[in-house]
Structure 1
Amino acid sequence: MELIVLWDIDHTLIENAGVSKEIYAAAFAALAGTDPAEPARTEGRTDRLIMRDMFQRNGLAEPGWGAVEAALAGAGEERLHDLSRRGTALPGVRDVLKESSAHDGWVSSVLTGNIAANARVKVAAFGLDPLLELSVGAYGADALQRPGLVAVARERAQRLRGVRDDVPVVLVGDTPRDVEAALATSSGIIAVASGVHRAEELAAAGAQVVLPDLTDTARVLEILETFSAH
């Protein structure tokens, strides 16, 4: 059976060891000429919202999105080495991505608040990029709110891979916003308590499936199979 599997990146596939916050701070400083007063607030937001929030909290007008995206991309590219040195792919991720990418009829990509350039940096830092069909993913520049990214990924899967419009979509992520995006778009959700949110929080947000991590490859694939059978 066919299935579109969309993985979140930060704290689901990788631990970025604080490099993400450094990217936002550097992009802000490049645009504003001064360091931000406080770190970025992320928690599943898109890059558009994260940067807008930073400018608002610092009492500054938000630059045009083109300038913001370029600053983010530059800051991300500069930190590829730092990310690969300090961060890590989370336990079990490489195996589950290998199996998903090889599964007949499945499209395995990403749905992330990161802009596309920085999403590529983050997965490439740990050699995960060959295991994901990044061209059909959805990224932080594609929509303001996370639920809007689901339609973007589905359209790309249809256009680039010929996937039918009724093929189920499953999100895999670590925040209540991942759960909300799935519920708002009638997608499946596998919530993973590998970030800052506890399993209880993810269940309270509406996730019917919550895993502690992605180390049990067979279990993850078994759950994904149940969605593809719908």
Structure 2
Amino acid sequence: MPLIVLWDIDHTLIENSGVSKEIYAAAFSAVTGHAAVRPARTEGRTDRLILAEMFRDHGMDPPEWGRINQALTAAGAARETALVQRGRALPGAREALGAVAAEPGMVSSVLTGNVYANARVKLRAFGLDTLLDMECGAYGADSTDRAALVEVARDRIRKAYDLPPDTPVVLIGDTPRDVRAAQDSGAHVVAVASGIHSADELHDAGATVVLPDLVDVAALMRHLRSLASTVS
């Protein structure tokens, strides 16, 4: 059976080295005309939720999403060079993406809190964007709720690839929010302790498969193949 593989980006595939927080601060400043006093709270949130909370943390009602999205896109584009200079692809990320892309029956895409433009900036900065199908993923503009993104990506991929409705889905991510998104949407999850959350925290969140990183590509692929042989 086919398998839909959805990858988180920040701290799963890449280390952004603080550039993400700078993007949010710049977007906030562009919309409001003054600097943020309190930083963005991220940790697996979607951009819609991050910016809404950021405005509320400053005692403001969030403006309409179109203005925020435009500011985020401009801030991300302006910081691609900084990302290249300061960030990096995480160990095993390129090899893992390449292995899934080469596996017959597996469709590899993105489930991220970033808006589409910034997700592309982050993956392109390290040459990862061509290793998955970004056009049918789910992004931070799609919902404030990360679990809702699973259904968005699932529907887009099923339509794009004409997949059966019972095609299993697996999320690969580094936060308890990724784990909960999988649980709430009926997807599988592979948690990766490559961010700020320990393996124990990810297990406690409900992940049964937790990897220290993406270096052991063979082990990852064995697990993904086992999921492809089951019906979600």
Shared fold by TM > 0.5? yes
Q: 1:101-154 CA deviation, whole Å, 9 max, x = no partner?
A: 111111001100000010000000000011010011100011110000011101
Q: How does 1:43-192 map to 2 (within 5 A)?
A: 43-192=43-192
DSSP 3-state at the match of 1:215: coil
- CA distance in 1: counterparts of 2:4 and 2:204, whole angstroms: 25
Residue 60 of structure 1: how far off its partner (Å): 1.5
DSSP 3-state at the match of 1:190: strand
Question: 8 Å contact 1:154–1:165 — kept in the other structure?
Answer: no
DSSP 3-state at the match of 2:61: coil
Q: 2:196 maps to what in 1?
A: 196
Q: 1:151-208 CA deviation, whole Å, 9 max, x = no partner?
A: 1101111111112111000000000000000011111100000000000000000000
TM-score by length of 2: 0.98
* Gaps in structure 2 of 5+ consecutive residues: none
- CA distance in 2: counterparts of 1:213 and 1:141, whole angstroms: 28
Determine what percentage of the aligned residue pairs are the same residue. 57
Q: Which runs of 4+ in 1 moved over 3 A?
A: none
Q: 2:220 maps to what in 1?
A: 220
Q: 1:40-77 CA deviation, whole Å, 9 max, x = no partner?
A: 10000000000001100111221100000000000000
* Gaps in structure 1 of 5+ consecutive residues: none
Q: 2:17 maps to what in 1?
A: 17
Number of aligned positions between the proteins: 230
Question: 8 Å contact 1:17–1:87 — kept in the other structure?
Answer: yes
TM-score by length of 1: 0.99
Residue 30 of structure 1: how far off its partner (Å): 0.3
- CA distance in 2: counterparts of 1:143 and 1:107, whole angstroms: 22
CA RMSD of aligned residues (A): 0.6
